[in-house]
Amino acid sequence: MTDEQSKDDGKRRWKGPTAEDAERVKERTFATKQKVKKGGIKKKSSRVWIERQLSDPYVRRAMEAGWRARAAYKLLELDERFGLLTPKMRVVDLGCAPGSWTQVAQARGAAKVVGIDLLEVEPIEDAHLIVGDVNDPEAIAEMMSALEGAPTLVLSDMAAATTGHKQTDHLRTVQLAEMAAQFAIENLEVGGDFCTKVFQGGAQGELKSLLDANFREVRYWKPPASRKQSPEMFAIAKGFRK
């Protein structure tokens, strides 16, 4: 467990990187930097992505702290502002790969975390993370079988693979957010909370009405860890009313 993670209180289960891991990360980062510098990475989009990763302070911080993705900081910032995570809660993490939101929920003392993703997630002790599609009722039932009660918090950081076509990407992410909202409304315990990634601009009317009708308070916010160039922001819906 790293110093940064241990500041997060509660029951800690993720042990964080070992000194050996940290050394390996350092070596790999250095080797990649050299490769980029020498023009060893040919495809422009890959080069741009790697350069952005290497110069991103959140990526470095996440590596050092043992979070599996820089996305951890988005949830930490959302939690700091809206008080989403409390000890003993039951959390559902939709679109959980590679697992940093699950790590954060556990670090905040969640009693149980279950999650689902199209991609395989390296196991996290005490979390039930399965491979599947949120559209598949059987996969959802398998995920929920380990929760032991209704969720107190539903999180969704789901994002469709981008096509490069802005409107298509926007619509696909809105659909995922609506799907997550439906799931939350069908499953949350009364008084529970929901937080989902949304994209700014257009096509969000339905989601907004759905959340307004079912929650005591709905807010929208872009955490500082969310890249400025990205259209993503988050809807935070608190106090589920059955």
Ligand X SMILES: C[S@@+](CC[C@H](N)C(=O)[O-])C[C@H]1O[C@@H](n2cnc3c(N)ncnc32)[C@H](O)[C@@H]1O
Structural tokens at position 52 = 């952005």
Contact 237, 195 (CB under 8 A): yes
Considering 74, 112, 197, 238, which one is annotated as catalytic? 197
197 as an active site residue: the answer is yes
Give the interface segment with ligand X, choosing from 12-20, 34-42, 130-138, 216-224 (CB under 6 A): 130-138
Taking CB under 6 A as the rule, does residue 140 contact ligand X?
Answer: no
Half-sphere exposure of 146 (CA within 13 A, CB side): 18
Please state, as a whole number, how many other Cβ atoms lie within 10 Å of the Cβ of residue 218. 18
Structural tokens at position 108 = 């905040």
Whichever of 19 and 119 has its CB closer to ligand X, that residue is 119
Whichever of 34 and 163 has its CB closer to ligand X, that residue is 163
Whichever of 16 and 98 has its CB closer to ligand X, that residue is 98
Tell me which DSSP letter residue 228 carries: T
Which residues, at least 6 apart from 58, have a Cβ–Cβ distance to it below 8 Å? 70, 73, 225
Taking CB under 6 A as the rule, does residue 98 contact ligand X?
Answer: yes
Give the interface segment with ligand X, choosing from 39-47, 115-123, 187-195, 222-230 (CB under 6 A): 115-123
Q: Which residues bind ligand X (CB under 6 A)?
A: 68-69, 71-72, 95-101, 116-119, 133-135, 157-160, 176
